[in-house]
Amino acid sequence: MRERLALYLDLIRWNRPAGWLLLLWPSLSALWVAADGWPGWHLLAVFVLGTILMRSAGCCINDVADRDFDRHVKRTAERPVTRGAVSVREALLVGAALALAAFGLVLTTNPATIVWSFAGLAVTLIYPYAKRHVSMPQAVLGVAFSFGIPLAFVAVGSANLAWQDINLQTLNDAVPMQAWGLMLFNLFWVLAYDTEYAMVDRDDDLRIGMKTSAITLGRHDVSAIMAFYAVYLCGWYGLLESAHLSWHWVLALCLAGLQAVWHFLLILDRSREGCFRAFRLNHWLGATVFAGIALGYALR
């Protein structure tokens, strides 16, 4: 039993929390923006636990979808499903259980959030197969990893919406333009860090015919990544300017920008070690942005 548990923890990348942190920080940032400050313990718990559960479920789905490709990639060849330590059926059952647990948390919110959560689930299921058909599948991942943003706005703003009020118009109205804007600009951050991630496996991906942004961008990869960082940070600054946050928000953006410059130095020679380190450090950039927003609202 202990051995199976260890395999399942390896399956969901329990010892590598960077993945769920990259999901968590933009979702919490949006939660603070939507609530105009502190969102309350209930929504905080729902989004933190839900993020961990859904990222873990996504790992299960991704490993099943990529099992025939992963065995040809140095970094992923020893994943439990790829090496046969966990069967496809087992991985799908674990993923389904985690997704159901996350849905149980969503059920404690409101009808509009419940309906919108199915759209988020659909994107999660689509992403693993985008790498076979889309030249920049990182854009699809960007939608999946940014979907907590509109969900946060719906969870906060539609608390009084009953099931009888649910229709296409009310669902559309539940997500303001600011939420879509934050999601769009956050997508550029995902493009930045996941292109760094894709640069680690570029040689293997070329050999097996996988499509990634690192391959599509070619020699323009580093400059594109820096442009993605700039669009993300400038876009969030512009969208939150009207909130009149305290100076801590601007300081956090400057610190996040300095981190992006550090990542530039790490990926400049395109080494596997440097690119992987830059990817793994991105959760600190997201944490910095969130800290600036939280402090900006608390001390304005």
The pair of three-digit structure tokens given for residue 178, joined into one six-digit string: 């600011």
- What radius of gyration, in Å, describes the C-alpha atoms of the chain? 19
Cα separation values, 195 from 144, 169, 257, Å? 15, 36, 18
For the chain, list the domains and their CATH numbers: 2-298 (1.10.357.140)
Give the pLDDT confidence score for residue 210 in this predicted structure. Answer: 78
Q: Are 217 and 224 in contact (CB under 8 A)?
A: yes
* pLDDT 10s digits, 92-105: 999 999 999 999 99
Integer Cα distance of 207 and 204 in angstroms: 5
Distance of CA 144 to the CA centre of its chain: 6
| Extended beta strands in the chain, E state | none
Q: Are 148 and 51 in contact (CB under 8 A)?
A: yes
Per-residue pLDDT tens digits of the chain, which is 300 residues long: 778 888 888 888 888 888 899 999 999 999 999 999 999 999 999 999 999 999 999 888 888 887 877 777 777 777 888 888 888 899 899 999 999 999 999 999 999 999 999 998 888 888 877 777 777 888 888 898 899 999 999 999 988 888 988 989 989 989 999 999 999 999 999 999 999 999 998 887 788 777 888 899 989 999 999 999 999 999 999 999 999 999 999 999 999 999 999 999 999 999 999 999 999 999 999 999 999 999 999 998
* pLDDT 10s digits, 248-287: 999 999 999 999 999 999 999 999 999 999 999 999 999 9
What's the pTM?
0.93
